[in-house]
């Protein structure tokens, strides 16, 4: 983290083992969402990290930023990518230690990444200090236990996404992304798509499914 005149300029990004390192620029412009969907829970189980990634209700703390604000300074060769289904989100993680990094769509033209809190742990600067509080709670039907958490912030998140995507598209900034080879439009790592047996296994592990 680099602080200047009280404003947080960058927030450090790193995997648990320290192989992958980088930073997020302009953290205050992020949108922060807790997602309770089963797919996010399945991703945590795929990585064998549900206790680190998910809260007690199965929620994932996701920090949405434009990809141009994400810089990897080392270890990008350790980045790995998976999809739960052939058409699913690209779910990025550090293959060295199975730390989830974030989710993108399969095209760089729709330009946002939902970073997982696990790659943004910083002993000095809390997520609240850098990115502000959680602004939205989505897919709450996937939360474990009853009553379900209240959903909220959907409109704000929708506006944030549309504005961010359009700005990047109009300015051409969507081309600045560490996750894609912009000359081909392909992800820098070929995603591994789970087999149906693998998918069933991680889906069934999601806590909400056990109730």
Out of 44, 79, 84, 94, name the contact with Zn ion by CB under 5 A.
94
Interaction between residue 64 and Zn ion (CB under 5 A): no
Handedness of CA 195, 196, 197, 201 (dihedral sign): positive
* Least Å from the CB of residue 141 to Zn ion: 11
203 binds Zn ion (CB under 5 A): no
Least separation in angstroms between residue 34's CB and Zn ion is 9
Local structure of 152: helix, strand or coil? strand
What's the CA gap between 40 and 22, in Å, rounded?
23
Is 116 near Zn ion (CB under 5 A)? Answer: no
Rule CB under 5 A: say whether 161 interacts with Zn ion.
Answer: no
Q: How far apart are CA 153 and CA 35, in angstroms?
A: 12
DSSP 65-87: E-GGGEEEEE-GGGEEEEESSTT
Scanning 8-16, 21-29, 105-113, 179-187 for contacts with Zn ion by CB under 5 A, the matching segment is: 8-16
Closest contact distance (angstroms) between CB of 157 and Zn ion is 12
Which of 12, 34, 35, 168 binds Zn ion (CB under 5 A)? It is: 35
Residue 196 has phi, psi (to 5 degrees) of -65, -35
17 binds Zn ion (CB under 5 A): yes
Three-state secondary-structure class, residue 18: coil
- Of 1 and 96, CB closest to Zn ion: 96
Does 80 contact Zn ion by CB under 5 A?
Answer: no
Query: Quick one: which of 1, 96, 106, 161 contacts Zn ion (CB under 5 A)?
Result: 96
Let me know: does 108 contact 67? Beta carbons within 8 Å. yes
9 or 110, CB closer to Zn ion?
110
19 binds Zn ion per the rule CB under 5 A: yes
Cα–Cα dist 32/166, whole Å: 19
Nearest-angstrom CA–CA distance, 18 and 207: 29
Cα angle: 102, vertex 80, 124; to 5 degrees: 45
Taking CB under 5 A as the rule, does residue 79 contact Zn ion? no
Q: Nearest approach, Cβ of 37 to Zn ion (angstroms)?
A: 3
Contacting positions for Zn ion (CB under 5 A): 15, 17, 19, 35, 37, 40, 94, 96-97
């Amino acid at each position: 983290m680099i602080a200047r005149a009280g404003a947080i300029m960058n927030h450090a990004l790193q995997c648990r083992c320290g192989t992958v390192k980088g930073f997020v620029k302009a953290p205050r412009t992020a949108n922060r969402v807790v997602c309770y969907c089963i797919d996010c829970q399945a991703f945590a189980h795929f990585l064998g990290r549900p206790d680190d990634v998910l809260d007690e209700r199965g929620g994932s703390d996701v920090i949405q930023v434009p990809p141009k604000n994400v810089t990897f300074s080392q270890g990008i060769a350790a980045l790995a990518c998976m999809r739960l289904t052939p058409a699913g989100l690209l779910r990025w993680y550090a293959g060295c230690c199975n730390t989830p990094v974030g989710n993108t769509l399969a095209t760089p033209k729709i330009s946002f990444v939902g970073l997982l809190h696990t790659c943004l742990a910083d002993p000095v600067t809390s997520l609240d200090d850098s990115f502000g509080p959680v602004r939205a709670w989505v897919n709450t039907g996937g939360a474990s236990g009853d009553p379900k958490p209240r959903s909220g912030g959907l409109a704000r998140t929708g506006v944030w996404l549309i504005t961010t995507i359009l700005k990047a598209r109009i300015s051409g900034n969507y081309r600045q992304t560490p996750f894609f080879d912009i000359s081909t439009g392909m992800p820098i790592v070929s995603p591994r798509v789970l087999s149906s047996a693998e998918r069933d296994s991680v889906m069934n592990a999601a806590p909400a499914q056990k109730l």
